[in-house]
Structure 1
Amino acid sequence: MSHSDKNDLEGLNPDAAELAALGYKQEFKREFSSLSSFCVSFSVLGLLPSFASTMYYTAGYAGTPAMVWGWLIAMVFVQCVAYGMAELCSSMPTSGGLYYAAAKLAPRRWGPLAAWLTGWSNYFVQVTAAPSVAYSFSGMVLSLIQIKNPSYTPQNYQTFLLACSAMMVMTLVSCLPTKVIAHFNTCGTVINMVFLGIVMITLLAVAGKNHAFNSSHKVWTNFENQTDWSDGLALLMSFAGVIWTMSGYDSPFHLSEECSNASVAAPRAIVMTSAFGGVVGWLLNLIIAYTVVDVSQVMNDGLGQPYVVYLQQVCDYKTTVALTALTVVCSFMMGQGCMVAASRVTYSYARDGVFPFSDYLAHVDVRTKTPNRCTWMNTIAGMLLLLLIFAGDVAISAIFSVGAIAAFVAFTIPIFIKITCVSDLDFQRGPFHLGRFSKPIGYASCAFVLLMLPILCFPETKGKNLNAQGMNWTCVVYGGPMFAIIVWWIVSAHKWFTGPCLTYVPDTSVSSDVILEGVSKPDDDEASVSITKKK
């Protein structure tokens, strides 16, 4: 590094200097705070629309027990994954997130492969998130027409066009300046919280007035198993709804290059999102479990929207329409948050040459300071995925399971590498760390994901009852592309992909009053993460 580069580094603010020490130049404006990062993350989480989208899994597989103590069991392990991710985020706050962490923590010769697999799995999460939300959004909107006019049957092309229109609006919002997006998502989170509170209070009030609540014995012990598997396995299968709902708390990691005091604010936002989402999500499940009249009818009604059918059981027509409309608004806010997070992930990968035409994609708009080309690429890819609507409900539903599996595979790979390949002395902690609980929490995270991977691919039926319509196509929709990615690696990518491409290589001798984080790998078999701190 030249003398002028040293002076440039010393003149950077703490966040930019920390990012430079990780190997990247500051290109975004840092206009996100811990609160606004949490707001984006909570918008992506979207408890109310997420529950509405995945009620088929949470209640449909095992009934109300899956909604109450099933959610609690799953959330214990989901929190383990979240805390492990927050620790990595505090140590390495870059928009590459898990992909960067996997590359830097793995032994040198395995780092590029670890980054390749983590990055692509995470990209599949991001690229399927907005279209899956848009699909759910369009389904709920069209169900309102069905409620008004029972003879109306939505056509696939109507669902497709409405979902694509929603994605276009989300994209336009996501291309606005960073400061505007931050304010928009803050407002979106307030709307999400307020509307969620209105729905929960209304359900309690209306249910208490119109019919008695379900007994605790029924809610906690009465399995309504609608699969061909045992009650225990059906309960585990119901975790798909929890996992998909809670797969958005990594957003602050990807927004860390736009966040002030990123090594503290970003992990704090991750923990806030997972904790708040876990508690409030359980309360929502609890309310619905105690007020639902007939789970079987909710799951099998011809409307095809379990959440809306549930509202019809509990509420009158006007209240059903009002609560569904509130959920639709929350769904749009959620989709827009997904779009923002996905664009940052895509940009970080394009910056490192992962995609074809990466040089074109790795562009930050000079006016808005946002990666608009990446946003539009994801929109086009999402619209292509929405073509699965024409293949039927089973095919389009696979994008929900793919999102759940792909997310937690990407979340867990760097955590697994950290607990198996990096010693406590070599891992450089950030301000947020788990201390002696780091490895136990990491092992619990990995064990949970390892257990859930095959279970999330199980179909509802088995034996002679299993057919193409009842098949769980998740293993094909996720496994197929991942297999192609592995083949691509073997044939070509291993020759040119070397992991994150650093755009700023700091000289560790530079004096600075801030903590500079970097990664050093002394040999091929050992990885270590180190900090240079000059006082």
Structure 2
Amino acid sequence: MSDTISPIITYSKGDLEVGPITSKVHVDNLRVTSILSNRDIVINVDHEVDDDEAMILAMGYKQEFKREFSLWSVFAVSFSVLGLLPSIAACFDYQQLVIGMSPIPWLLAVLFVTSVAYSLAEIASAFPVSTGTPYAVSQLAPPRYKAYLTWFTCWANWLCQITGAPSVNYSTACMMLALKSFCQPGYSATNGQIYGLTTGIQITHGLISSLPTLWLARFNSMGTVANILFLFIVFIMILAANDRVEMYDGTIPKFNTNAIAWSLENQTEWPQGIAMLMSFLGVIWAMSGYDSPFHLSEECSNAAVAAPKAIVLTSTVGGVIGFLFMLAIAYTLVDIDLIAEDPQGLGQPFVSYLAQILKKDLVIAATAFTIISSYFMGCSCMLAASRVTFAYSRDGLFPGSRWWKIVSPLTKTPIYAVWINLFLGQLLLLLMFAGDGTAIGAIFSVGGIAGFVSFTMPTLLKITYARNTFKPGPWNLGRYSTPIGFVSCAFVLVMIPILCFPDVRGADLNASQMNWTAVVFFGPLLLSTIWFVVDAHKWYIGPKSNLDEADISYEDSPYQDSPLDEVLEGKEQDESLEISEEKK
């Protein structure tokens, strides 16, 4: 490195009185908004730092992870979490069995989901820390409400993360047992068997997610290659190897007509417009992995550019490929009502669909490819969730945060965060023992709602309160930032109540048919709000710096002799005072 990076980073030979200072990071000279900015803070470091480390230091955190994820590696994790093939298979219940085989719901929903993703990418570029959207909220919200909005966003995003791996692994277990039912007619899996198999999958993912970062990067790259390859193979199988003509004695053609393929078939008791919106859950859940690069920012090189690019790539490529796959299903599916009835007792609509159009050996192969892809997807979900739990524990959000924020000196990964998530996921999976299978669907809906709430909170603040103070990062939407932000927020506002609707209504609605999303999502958020009002408001102020006090200095600043905690508290008070003055 050379001195040309000055005045952002400067270098000195050290001072014997204060220790060997090699680099100085001048926070206010970086074009960022952070918990340390606007206080003339200089961070003294005992080694040379690059731009990535300078950025994370300016955000208020030590560089604790190795930056061994490239743009491709981060995209690999994100695309694996997206897991289009297993996601589409898992969401048959929430899309095709709601509004029919038509690809129209995917086409419409993915446009709005992509707008949410693009807005999130802009936020990720401005605040490239693993804390993700809550950190952005803490810097964009009005001072009076900053602590609560950050708290709320943390809990919403965390609910999204911890439901990811259990829902994916539950779907994986169901497909594995559905394949057994297909090969062994008369076999029907019990909830206990599904729970046991899901638990086994969860444990293997916990072990993998505890490995060193470099190994995780390689494993997820392998998973992405497998996901893309198997998606392509199954896509070709559906189009080229479908055997509808022979299987149905020539009574139907190889492909459906346009009129049939694009037709809507309302499977609910709601009006067709409401059913269409309800079917968006399949798209929302299938496309919900694009936020993962945000949470891997501290393990990624050139994070302010690579993380948002990975988000954009994931949402755009995923949306297009997903739509093509939905077209293939629409033009080959034979009887949606028969899939809903499940006369073979497979318990997995996607396998029932494959059985309508493929010979037995090909059904087994396509399902096996889907299962392998789903396994990689679940592992990526657990990896991303562990980084979120680590980041929030670093800010003291959870009971026991002092344990969950520990980074293993051996693997340089937050092992305890991995395993507490796994334990909580096991508790969520107990929903499969409630009712006739409807309750477990809540973890799919919760993932969609919780993700949307946390993803769009900073976007809402960016286009309203902080519209004149937001400092975009190197990747941004430019003049399209505000209109795309408004579209994102409006879509989320419409979808939150829709995703809580049950499939039936009136006299047909009972406890077993109820959509338990409102309880599983809003219940914990209500409890967290009560906790904040009663106690947490006394000590929770949002993201907290974990830099050592001895490494902080102030140049030409009135805070020269003040401890860092007092300086940050003073910043809070000054911001509140500024608001009061503006009101006057």
TM range (shorter): over 0.9
Equivalent position of 1:233 in the other structure: 274
Deviation at 1:339, TM superposition (A): 0.7
In the alignment, the residues of structure 1 paired with residue 508 and residue 276 of structure 2 have an alpha-carbon distance, to the nearest angstrom, of 20
Percent of aligned positions that are identical: 50
In the alignment, the residues of structure 1 paired with residue 325 and residue 239 of structure 2 have an alpha-carbon distance, to the nearest angstrom, of 10
- Cα deviation per residue 1:266-309 (whole Å; 9 max; x = unaligned)? 10000000001100011111100110000111122132211000
The one of 58, 67, 81 aligned to 1:21:
58
Equivalent position of 2:303 in the other structure: 262
Equivalent position of 2:284 in the other structure: 243
Equivalent position of 1:108 in the other structure: 143
Equivalent position of 1:58 in the other structure: 95
In the alignment, the residues of structure 2 paired with residue 207 and residue 297 of structure 1 have an alpha-carbon distance, to the nearest angstrom, of 18
Structure 1 residue 135 and structure 2 residue 179: aligned?
Answer: no
Preserved CA contact (<8 Å) 2:461 2:467:
no
Q: CA RMSD in A?
A: 1.8
Gaps of 5+ in 2: 1-17, 25-43, 246-252, 557-567, 580-584
In the alignment, the residues of structure 2 paired with residue 252 and residue 525 of structure 1 have an alpha-carbon distance, to the nearest angstrom, of 36
Q: In structure 2, give the amino acid aligned to 1:388.
A: L
SS at match of 1:60: helix
The one of 179, 187, 208 aligned to 1:173:
208
In the alignment, the residues of structure 1 paired with residue 127 and residue 340 of structure 2 have an alpha-carbon distance, to the nearest angstrom, of 44
Residues 507 and 196 (structure 1), Cα distance of their counterparts in 2 relative to 1, 3 Å cut: farther
Preserved CA contact (<8 Å) 1:252 1:266:
yes
Equivalent position of 1:524 in the other structure: 576
In the alignment, the residues of structure 1 paired with residue 577 and residue 198 of structure 2 have an alpha-carbon distance, to the nearest angstrom, of 48
Structure 1 residue 313 and structure 2 residue 356: aligned?
Answer: yes
Preserved CA contact (<8 Å) 2:439 2:514:
no
The answer to which of 102-111 and 237-246 deviates more is 102-111
SS at match of 2:225: helix
TM-score under structure 2 length normalisation:
0.85
Equivalent position of 2:38 in the other structure: none
**1:167-206 equivalent positions in 2, closer than 5 A:** 167-206=202-241
SS at match of 1:159: helix
TM-score under structure 1 length normalisation:
0.93
Preserved CA contact (<8 Å) 1:108 1:525:
no
Equivalent position of 2:4 in the other structure: none
In the alignment, the residues of structure 2 paired with residue 497 and residue 97 of structure 1 have an alpha-carbon distance, to the nearest angstrom, of 17
Q: In structure 1, give the amino acid aligned to 2:136.
A: A
- Cα deviation per residue 1:358-383 (whole Å; 9 max; x = unaligned)? 11111001011000000000011111
Structure 1 residue 82 and structure 2 residue 117: aligned?
Answer: yes
In the alignment, the residues of structure 2 paired with residue 526 and residue 324 of structure 1 have an alpha-carbon distance, to the nearest angstrom, of 60
In the alignment, the residues of structure 2 paired with residue 191 and residue 285 of structure 1 have an alpha-carbon distance, to the nearest angstrom, of 20
Equivalent position of 1:156 in the other structure: 191
In the alignment, the residues of structure 1 paired with residue 346 and residue 196 of structure 2 have an alpha-carbon distance, to the nearest angstrom, of 19
In the alignment, the residues of structure 1 paired with residue 553 and residue 358 of structure 2 have an alpha-carbon distance, to the nearest angstrom, of 65
Equivalent position of 1:218 in the other structure: 260
Deviation at 1:523, TM superposition (A): 2.1
SS at match of 2:438: helix
In the alignment, the residues of structure 2 paired with residue 149 and residue 208 of structure 1 have an alpha-carbon distance, to the nearest angstrom, of 22
Preserved CA contact (<8 Å) 2:268 2:275:
yes
* Count of aligned pairs between the two proteins: 514
Deviation at 1:507, TM superposition (A): 5.9
In the alignment, the residues of structure 2 paired with residue 52 and residue 235 of structure 1 have an alpha-carbon distance, to the nearest angstrom, of 19
Structure 1 residue 298 and structure 2 residue 339: aligned?
Answer: yes
Residues 121 and 376 (structure 1), Cα distance of their counterparts in 2 relative to 1, 3 Å cut: same
Deviation at 1:333, TM superposition (A): 0.0
Gaps of 5+ in 1: 511-518, 528-535
The answer to which of 278-287 and 415-424 deviates more is 415-424
Equivalent position of 1:252 in the other structure: 293
SS at match of 1:363: coil
When Rg is computed on C-alpha atoms for both structures, the one with the higher figure is 2
Preserved CA contact (<8 Å) 1:123 1:345:
yes
The one of 59, 78, 83 aligned to 1:41:
78
The one of 432, 440, 456 aligned to 1:396:
440
Structure 1 residue 94 and structure 2 residue 129: aligned?
Answer: yes
In the alignment, the residues of structure 2 paired with residue 128 and residue 313 of structure 1 have an alpha-carbon distance, to the nearest angstrom, of 32
In the alignment, the residues of structure 1 paired with residue 312 and residue 555 of structure 2 have an alpha-carbon distance, to the nearest angstrom, of 34
In the alignment, the residues of structure 2 paired with residue 303 and residue 149 of structure 1 have an alpha-carbon distance, to the nearest angstrom, of 10
Residues 34 and 508 (structure 1), Cα distance of their counterparts in 2 relative to 1, 3 Å cut: farther
Preserved CA contact (<8 Å) 1:82 1:249:
yes
Preserved CA contact (<8 Å) 2:169 2:375:
yes
- Cα deviation per residue 1:170-195 (whole Å; 9 max; x = unaligned)? 11111110000000000000000000
Higher relative contact order (CA 8 A, sep 6+): 1
Q: In structure 2, give the amino acid aligned to 1:442.
A: G
